[in-house]
């Protein structure tokens, strides 16, 4: 399930950023089928979207990031910090890139790790998802 599907009822506006065009199209179709009207689907690299969005000085409450196994693109990390969300939820399928990205975020910002939840979505394999909540100090 995509994050926008369960967050849209709690926020005025939700942005879903996907680099894969088909994922954005699927999201638009699913939103229409479920009468969800407050989600904007953006087909772009997250680092490009974040840079452009932060230049507009808009305020956000929550940033949910769920990067691929390689983790966040290095150019996206400074933009994530400057996004200035009250809370960041980082969902990761790779503990080593999660650790690398969290190290950067914590060392270079006022964010602190509040919760870490491992989720075994793939029983009988070595794969594990990790959900980390970061909050502004």
The pTM for the full model equals: 0.86
The length of the chain, given as a count of residues: 137
Q: Is 7 helix (H, G, I), strand (E, B) or coil?
A: helix
Mean predicted confidence (pLDDT) in 48-76 = 86
Tell whether the model's pLDDT for residue 1 goes beyond 70.
Answer: no
Cross-strand partners of 117: 131
For the chain, the domains span 1-43, 45-137
In the prediction, which pLDDT does 11 show?
87
In the prediction, which pLDDT does 54 show?
78
Catalytic residues: 93
From residue 94, how far is each of 57, 70, 111, 121, 130 by CA, in Å? Answer: 31, 8, 21, 13, 8
Say whether domain 45-137 belongs to CATH 3.40.50.150: yes
């Amino acid at each position: 399930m995509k994050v926008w599907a369960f967050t849209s009822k709690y926020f005025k506006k939700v942005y879903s950023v996907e680099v894969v065009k088909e994922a954005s199209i699927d999201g638009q179709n699913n939103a229409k089928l479920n009468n969800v009207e407050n989600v904007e689907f953006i087909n772009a690299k997250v680092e490009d979207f974040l840079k452009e969005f932060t230049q507009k000085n808009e305020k956000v409450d929550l940033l949910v990031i769920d990067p691929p196994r390689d983790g966040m693109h290095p150019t996206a990390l400074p933009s994530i910090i400057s996004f200035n969300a009250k809370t960041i939820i980082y969902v990761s399928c790779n503990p080593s890139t999660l650790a690398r990205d969290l190290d950067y975020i914590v060392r270079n910002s006022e964010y602190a790790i509040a919760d870490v939840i491992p989720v075994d979505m793939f029983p009988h394999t070595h794969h594990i998802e990790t959900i980390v909540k970061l909050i502004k100090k």
